[in-house]
């Protein structure tokens, strides 16, 4: 993989930040967009725009085909069995809300348990919390070990005969831990429990094979996969999408509407009410092609190299404490500097054009457990280089100088 060529495909890097080159180390938050994706949105609106799935005119038919082409591309990319197992949403958050809402309505009763982990992002906790209020369910958390990792054992320990669904992240956006989700799925299924994976951090960086993983639900965020904002994907096994009730009501999701009776549309229309983010879905096809062109194996290798390099450099810095040391780790490093608050680190780094994230990264449960109000986080994408890490290192030194640290 030739990184300098890859970087050139992202127009954002033509810009300066505070008169410096942009060093973008915040891809776990949202990735930058390659030109093909940006151009696709422009082209669609200038030459091809129409709403999809409704009218019979030329543009409507062409737009509908383009929209459905993305569904097939996603199906192939994640090796789902059926294209109707791909539901477009406004993001991974909506995908998880869709499952929590519909699964909760149909299958959860008072006293039932939903099993999460302490690593979960708020988007894989709050939707389930709603059911605590409306259905009086309980939420259990599998606990992290000292490395910031979730083991199969920690999940197994929390499973009871009341556990109705297990919802875990594929890759922690704080510790970088990659969970053994195939094993977790096997364990869950051996007890007759379905499993939902929050794939926000997994999908952009790891090889995906839904049939091999055998998970019931997998939520994907488009904007973290070099795609536009406003697009997410819910993968769900067809039997669930057939069985669960619709999520939102509106145009496009119905079969027949009478004053007393309404019947719902077939898949995938059943879960895609109203006008969807058409341009974004169509442009997302370019993101998939972009990822395929580089090759996920190359991406994994590249990001592993960056992770190792950055871990060595930051690890050699006595003032830095890296949060977590999971066995299997993705391209995310959260850290603290003794004596400098993460917000101050982020402001000082920004002055050099180095974009990182500071805060609790929407994982307050985890930060409470770690006893840290906030951490600084760097995360990698296809455009990052070792030189980016060298600049990060220099800017961290500047940070220490400003705060009079040795």
Which is nearer to another protein, 21 or 344 (by Cβ)?
344
The distance of closest approach from Cβ of residue 378 to another protein in the complex, given in angstroms and rounded to an integer, is 17
How many CA atoms, within 13 angstroms, populate the side-chain half-sphere of residue 267? Answer: 19
- State the Cα–Cα distance between residues 285 and 36, nearest whole angstrom: 10
**399 in active site:** no
Q: In the set 222, 228, 342, 353, which binds another protein (CB under 8 A)?
A: 342
- If the CB atoms of residues 267 and 348 are measured against another protein, the closer one turns out to be 348
344 binds another protein (CB under 8 A): yes
Token pair of 73, please?
A: 């591309």
Binding another protein by CB under 8 A: which of 52, 213, 355, 374?
374
Helices first, then strands: H and E counts in the chain:
14, 17
* CB closer to another protein, 30 vs 105: 30
- Do 18 and 395 contact (CB within 8 A), yes or no? no
Pick out residues in 220-239 that bind another protein (CB under 8 A): none
Secondary element (H or E) of residue 262: strand 262-264
Stretch that binds another protein, among 37-45, 71-79, 179-187, 357-365 (CB under 8 A): 357-365
139: which 2 tokens? 């939420």
Backbone φ and ψ for 244, nearest 5 degrees, come out as -75, 150
| CA atoms of 163 and 332, how far apart (whole Å) | 31
Exactly one of 8, 158, 164, 341 binds another protein (CB under 8 A); which one?
A: 341
SS in 3 state form for 151-175? Answer: CHHHHHHHCCCCEEEEEEECECCCC
CB atoms within 10 A of CB 27: 26
Give the residue with the Cβ less far from another protein, 275 or 368.
Answer: 368
C-alpha span between 31 and 220 (Å, rounded) = 13
CB of 355 to another protein, least distance (A): 13
Of 265 and 359, nearer to another protein (C-beta) is 359
347 in contact with another protein (CB under 8 A): yes
Between CA 175 and CA 162 the distance in angstroms is 29
Name the one range near another protein by CB under 8 A: 166-174, 238-246, 282-290, 396-404: 396-404
Is residue 146 part of the contact set for another protein (CB under 8 A)?
no
Please tell me whether residue 351 binds another protein under the rule CB under 8 A: yes
Query: Does residue 403 touch another protein according to CB under 8 A?
Result: yes
Task: Fill in the DSSP letter of residue 31.
Answer: -
Q: Does 404 bind another protein (CB under 8 A)?
A: yes
Q: Which residues contribute to the site for another protein (CB under 8 A)?
A: 339-344, 347-348, 351, 358-360, 364, 367, 373-374, 402-404
Catalytic sites, residue numbers: 362
């Amino acid at each position: 993989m030739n990184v300098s060529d890859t970087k050139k495909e992202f127009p954002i890097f033509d810009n300066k930040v505070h008169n410096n080159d942009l060093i973008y180390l915040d891809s776990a938050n949202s990735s930058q967009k390659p030109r093909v994706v940006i151009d696709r949105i422009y082209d669609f609106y200038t030459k091809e725009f129409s709403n999809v799935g409704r009218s019979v005119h030329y543009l409507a038919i062409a737009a509908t085909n383009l929209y459905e082409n993305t569904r097939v591309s996603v199906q192939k990319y994640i090796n789902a069995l059926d294209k109707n197992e791909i539901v477009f949403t406004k993001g991974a958050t909506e995908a998880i809300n869709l499952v929590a809402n519909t699964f909760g309505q149909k299958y959860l009763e008072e006293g039932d348990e939903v099993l999460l982990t302490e690593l979960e992002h708020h988007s894989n906790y709050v939707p389930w919390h709603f059911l605590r209020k409306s259905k009086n369910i309980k939420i259990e958390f599998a606990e992290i070990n000292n490395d910031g990792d979730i083991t199969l054992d920690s999940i197994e320990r929390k499973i009871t005969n009341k556990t109705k669904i297990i919802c875990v992240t594929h890759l922690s956006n704080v510790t970088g831990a990659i969970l053994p989700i195939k094993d977790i799925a096997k364990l869950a299924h051996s007890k007759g429990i379905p499993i939902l994976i929050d794939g926000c951090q997994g999908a952009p960086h790891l090889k995906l094979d839904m049939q091999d993983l055998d998970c019931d639900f997998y939520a994907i965020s488009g904007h973290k996969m070099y795609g536009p904002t406003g697009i997410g994907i819910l993968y769900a096994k067809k039997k669930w999408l057939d069985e669960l009730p619709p999520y939102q009501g509106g145009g496009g999701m119905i079969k027949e509407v009478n004053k007393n009776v309404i019947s719902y549309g077939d898949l995938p229309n059943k879960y895609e009410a109203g006008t969807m983010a058409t341009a974004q879905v169509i442009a997302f096809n370019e993101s998939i092609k972009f990822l395929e062109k580089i090759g996920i194996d190359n991406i994994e290798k590249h990001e592993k190299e960056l992770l190792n390099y950055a871990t060595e450099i930051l690890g050699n810095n006595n003032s830095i404490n890296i949060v977590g040391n999971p066995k299997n780790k993705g391209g995310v490093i959260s850290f603290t500097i003794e004596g400098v608050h993460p917000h101050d680190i982020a402001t000082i780094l920004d002055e050099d054009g180095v974009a990182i994230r500071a805060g609790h990264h929407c994982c307050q449960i985890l930060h409470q457990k770690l006893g840290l109000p906030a951490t600084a986080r760097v995360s990698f994408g296809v455009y990052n280089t070792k030189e980016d890490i060298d600049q990060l290192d220099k800017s961290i030194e500047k940070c220490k100088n400003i705060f009079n640290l040795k």
